[in-house]
Amino acid sequence: MLLVVGLVLLGVFLLRFRKDRRRLSNGVFLLLGLAFTGVWVIGSGVKGDLPVVLAGLLVVLSPLLVLVLAGLLIVNGGQMVRREGLRLASLLPLGLGVVLLVPYVLLAVVIFTGDIWFVVILASGTMAVSYIGFLFASFLLYSLFYGALPYRPGMDAIVVHGAGLDGDRVPPLLASRLDRAVEVYRAEVAAGRRPLLITSGGKGLDEAVSEAAAMADYLVARGVSADRVVLEDRSTTTRENLLYTKRLLGERGETTRMVLVTSNFHILRTAILARRLGLDAEVTGARTAFYYLPSAILREFAAILVSYKWINAITCLALTALPVLALVLTRDLPHHYGD
């Protein structure tokens, strides 16, 4: 039965993926399908009662994995602070690592006091955290899957998203995006096409020139024909990048089949946003320094949660209410474990 459910879920994933690969829900079906199939594989090689065995593994491994993850996040947070300075983005991994330790503190309180309401509070928090954790696992899995997909040529435009300047210079993060765009451009040229290369990004208060202008200079210096480079120099967000680019191509009478070039941690959210805006676009990612990835991925996931804030808020509220409702409806439940 587990195998059947797993294969059905994987089949749904494949159908939805073929229809449109730019959906976060694809990751949900992929993760569920792999989970059910994996449980069946494990169960086929295990002697004894499968639920008991799996429960034992969860009891042993889950706390250990969470503690290891918390430790890694705290270490990465310290590394981010050393490299990037004391900023909110740098503190994000450190803060999350500390938050992951909170359930263990609450568990200690529950064991010490034995009060049933502490159990309910812990259960409510666990339900919400489990839901967010499942979404994060789906997001991370599908981000890796989507990022590993090969580039599909045949684009009318290659759009490079800005990432901030250092005065008038292109910093390493943005340079990696531009280098990836050059790779894609050369592949298109080798196949007999001459797509436009659009640099997208406005001028920040601390920047000497617009991102688009600095990016265009970088591309031309690396052999891209100046007549194929177009500047979109008004945008300040990814959403504006996409909307202004679509308008720019429309004004030029160009078709809008495009590939969006951004950092590898940013590809899935960019793809989802492009789909929601009705753009005929795919996304390809540039490599990012490894130490920077945990913080960047967490920021991307937080942005995804916000973009679907109402459904996530309602789901979390419903899940956290379940233990409370169970306690209220169970009138004869004792207030302490020892009663």
DSSP single-letter state for residue 205: T
Report whether 29 contacts 13 (CB < 8 A): yes
DSSP characters for 8-53?
A: HHHHHHHHHHHH-S--HHHHHHHHHHHHHHHHHHHHHT--S-HHHH
- 166-203 pLDDT, tens digit each: 777 888 889 999 999 999 999 888 888 888 899 998 87
Calculate Rg over the CA atoms of the chain: 24
Q: Which fold has domain 157-295?
A: Rossmann fold (3.40.50)
pTM, whole model, 2 decimals? 0.80
- 311-334 pLDDT, tens digit each: 989 998 998 888 778 777 765 555
Lowest mean pLDDT among 26-30, 45-49, 105-109: 45-49
What rounded mean pLDDT belongs to the chain?
A: 81
Report the pLDDT value the prediction gives residue 338, as an integer from 0 to 100: 47
Mean pLDDT across 133-152: 87
Residues 6 or more apart whose Cβ sits within 8 Å of residue 98: 70, 74
Q: Quick one: 91 exposed, middle or buried, by C-beta within 10 A (0-12, 13-18, 19+)?
A: middle
Report the pLDDT value the prediction gives residue 82, as an integer from 0 to 100: 74
- 204-218 pLDDT, tens digit each: 776 778 888 989 999
User: Phi, psi at residue 222, to the nearest 5°?
Assistant: -105, 25
CA–CA distance, 151 with 283 (Å, rounded to integer):
8
- 105-130 pLDDT, tens digit each: 776 777 677 667 777 777 777 778 77
Report the pLDDT value the prediction gives residue 237, as an integer from 0 to 100: 86
Q: What per-residue string of b and e applies to 186-218 under the rule 16 or more CB within 10 Å gives b?
A: eebeeeeeebbbbbbbbbeeebebbbbbbbbbb
